[in-house]
């Protein structure tokens, strides 16, 4: 790349040399995620991964892709770019663990108005941290400058994750029964959903609302809202190894009402006890500020529960204990019941 440069392209808004500098700055962070499955060298045209399939009779690969949504606007306003990559990994890895798949590798895609190497490297450092938390390798990615399409200080990030599960161990909703218990895993906050509503509620078009210190939160609004999405892969893999987990749902966009039914068979409903778990103060602050009905809150946000799993009643207490030992707060938040009511809050 020593002789690779183009003044003409640079004058059009694309600086290939800045791209090379971004790659150099991110190299150490990316290589932190490498494990024995990674093949090839950093910077190749395609990421290569050789999975260890020992003990897996019928491997099934599970893939998920997602972005971070308009939460990224807050990162840009605050000039804090080192955590948004954690969110990108979480949005993908938390989806594929719902089928019981262990994440193997991740790739990211960053589009920006102008490539500022230090900013890109900071974003990727967050992606690498997310991959470490999810137990997967960051084996590739792409950074693209889009002058004229995006403003110079704007960027967006999306990702792609692949995992593997033995076919006989795929978690689907077929084994869920009347009387099974729904366990909720605590969220780290708002995670990465509902930010279009949040920006409207607080009038976030510039930085100033984010700098306001909120006494009940003990921090600024921006600090609270940029808290990275919790990654549940390792605690759930531990639980799956010891307890028959019948269903898992990632409480992302659509909140309780959209996502919990996705892990229940047709003809079954979820009765959720709101008093069984703590609703973080940030959600009350959003609700009060925006005058938002409770149902809309539970249909937009995670309300303190970032993931749910379904187990038999006799294993519920031990499942909660295992999850807590694995480092995530967990609660028995409801039960599965026969019926067509969907999600019922009590």
Q: pLDDT 10s digit of each residue in the chain, 346 long?
A: 667 776 866 766 777 778 778 888 889 989 999 999 999 888 778 889 999 999 999 999 999 999 999 999 999 999 999 999 999 999 999 999 999 999 999 999 999 999 999 999 999 999 999 999 999 999 999 999 999 999 999 999 999 999 999 999 999 989 999 999 999 999 999 999 999 999 999 999 999 999 999 999 999 999 999 999 999 999 999 999 999 999 999 999 999 999 999 999 999 999 999 999 999 999 999 999 999 999 999 999 999 999 999 999 999 999 999 999 999 999 999 999 999 989 999 9
How far, in Å, CA of 304 to CA of 298, rounded?
10
The distance of Cα 74 from the centroid of its chain, to the nearest Å, equals 16
Give the pLDDT score at 301: 97
Question: Positive or negative CA dihedral for 121, 123, 129, 131?
Answer: negative
| Secondary structure (3-state) at 344 | strand
- Give helix 84-96 / helix 117-134 axis angle, nearest 10°: 30
* Alpha helices in the chain, H assignment, sequence order: 7-11, 16-31, 71-78, 84-96, 117-134, 195-202, 221-225, 233-240, 255-259, 281-290, 294-298, 316-325
Q: Which tokens in the block code for residue 250?
A: 């990632």
How far, in Å, CA of 256 to CA of 129, rounded?
28
Q: pTM for the whole thing?
A: 0.94
- Give helix 195-202 / helix 71-78 axis angle, nearest 10°: 50
Q: Which tokens in the block code for residue 185?
A: 């895993």
Give the pLDDT score at 25: 86
Half-sphere exposure of 309 (CA within 13 A, CB side): 31
Give, for 59, the enclosing helix (H) or strand (E).
Answer: strand 59-67
Contact 143, 22 (CB under 8 A): yes
Give the pLDDT score at 285: 96
Give the pLDDT score at 15: 74
């Amino acid at each position: 790349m020593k002789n690779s440069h183009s003044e003409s392209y640079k004058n059009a808004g694309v600086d290939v040399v800045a791209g090379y500098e971004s790659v150099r700055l991110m190299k150490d962070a990316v290589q932190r995620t490498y494990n024995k499955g990674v093949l090839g060298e950093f910077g190749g045209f395609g990421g290569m991964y050789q999975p260890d399939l020992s003990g897996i009779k019928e491997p099934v690969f599970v893939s998920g892709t997602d972005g971070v949504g308009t939460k990224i606007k807050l990162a840009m306003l605050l000039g804090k770019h080192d955590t948004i990559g954690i969110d990108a990994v979480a949005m993908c890895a938390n989806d594929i663990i719902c089928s019981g798949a262990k994440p193997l590798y991740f790739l990211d895609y960053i589009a920006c108005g102008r490539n500022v190497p230090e900013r890109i490297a900071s974003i990727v450092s967050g992606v690498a941290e997310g991959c470490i938390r999810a137990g997967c390798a960051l084996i590739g990615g792409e950074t693209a400058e889009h002058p004229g399409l995006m403003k110079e200080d704007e960027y967006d990030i999306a990702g792609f994750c692949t995992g593997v599960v033995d076919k006989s161990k795929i978690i689907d909703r077929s084994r869920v029964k009347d009387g099974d218990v729904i366990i909720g895993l605590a969220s780290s906050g708002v995670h990465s959903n509902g930010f279009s509503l949040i920006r409207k509620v607080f009038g976030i078009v510039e930085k100033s609302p984010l700098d306001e210190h909120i006494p009940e939160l003990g921090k600024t609004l921006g600090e609270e809202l940029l808290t990275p999405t919790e990654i549940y892969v390792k605690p759930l893999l531990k639980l799956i190894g010891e307890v028959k987990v019948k269903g898992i749902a990632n409480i992302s966009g659509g909140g309780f009402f959209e996502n919990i039914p996705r892990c229940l068979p047709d003809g079954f409903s979820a009765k959720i006890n709101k008093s069984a778990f703590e609703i973080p103060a940030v959600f009350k602050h959003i609700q009060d500020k925006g005058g938002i009905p409770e149902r809309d809150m539970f249909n937009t946000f995670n309300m303190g529960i970032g993931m749910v799993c379904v187990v038999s009643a006799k294993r519920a207490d031990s499942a909660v204990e295992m999850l807590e030992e694995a480092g995530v707060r967990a609660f028995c938040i409801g039960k599965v019941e026969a019926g067509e009511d969907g999600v019922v809050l009590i």
